[in-house]
Amino acid sequence: MFSCASIVFRKFLDTGRNFPCAIEYYKYKHRNMRKGMCLMATFTIRGKNIEITPSLREYVEKRVGKVTKYFEKVGEITVLLTVSKGRHIVEVTVPIQGGIVLRGEEATMDMYTSIDLVVEKLERQIHKQKTKLARRFRGGGFKAEVIEEREKDHPVDKRDESAEYPVVKTKRFVVKPMDVQEAIMQMNLLNHNFFVFRDSETEEVNVVYRRTDGNYGLIESGN
């Protein structure tokens, strides 16, 4: 019998809060039952205002690991679990070969429910984009047959699946140099949900955006 092993390394950071901010790095092998092989996926799990217990870590590993069955290779999967004002928020980012990134976020009153819902969202995104993904990875890397088998028992909405994405409007603007705080102020003055700017120190083009929890996020460009 082909077995799959897990390797775990944990690191806890002292944040000065009532709850420890736990960051866990661990690797596990997800078995591909069709080929009798294991796909190695590296996870980074971070907890904010919540302790990453062994049972919670195992549940994340089992549920989020399902998305690896659609691809031959994935990068380091990051999972952020946050408890804020009674809301249990799960953010998952899955880098796929070729620079493609899969991301999902869900929030409910229960962490396990949020994990289930974000996995369902990620799988729906993959199914909806299967034609474009197959075209993008025509040389291999995307397992379209896995989706076809699943859709026999779980039909999905296939509207506009193979159609080109319509671009209905194009805007041109000058990307001005400024710091993050000024960019956020400008975004709020414009009443936008995001704002593109050039960092005055690094000269890189970055994006600030408004998060669903009311805070702000920063997307930095990199090599």
In this prediction, residue 154 carries a pLDDT of: 59
For residue 122, what are its two tokens? 């990620």
How many CB atoms sit inside 10 A of residue 217's CB? 11
- Helix orientation angle between 111-128 and 54-64, rounded to the nearest 10 degrees: 10
In this prediction, residue 110 carries a pLDDT of: 96
In this prediction, residue 127 carries a pLDDT of: 85
The answer to whether the beta carbons of residues 201 and 213 sit under 8 Å apart is no
In this prediction, residue 214 carries a pLDDT of: 83
The answer to whether the beta carbons of residues 26 and 8 sit under 8 Å apart is yes
In this prediction, residue 150 carries a pLDDT of: 64
**Yes or no: is domain 177-219 CATH 3.30.505.50?**
yes
Where along the chain do its domains lie? 6-153, 177-219
Domains 6-153 and 177-219 share a fold: no
The CA distances from residue 2 to 31, 33, 73, 88, 162, in Å, are 9, 10, 19, 36, 38
In this prediction, residue 195 carries a pLDDT of: 92
* Type of residue numbered 54: P
3-state helix, strand, coil in the chain (%, to 5): 30, 35, 35
Name which CATH class applies to 6-153: alpha beta
* Helix residue ranges per DSSP H, 15-156: 54-64, 111-128, 130-136, 144-153
In this prediction, residue 32 carries a pLDDT of: 38
Mean pLDDT, 10 residues at a time, the chain of 223 residues: 34 37 41 43 92 94 90 91 94 88 93 96 88 80 74 56 73 88 91 91 92 88 71
Among residues 42, 60, 41, the alpha carbon closest in space to that of 50 is found at: 60
* Type of residue numbered 188: N
Q: How many residues does the chain have?
A: 223
Among residues 17, 39, 14, 21, the alpha carbon closest in space to that of 29 is found at: 39
The answer to whether the beta carbons of residues 91 and 106 sit under 8 Å apart is no
pTM across the whole model: 0.64
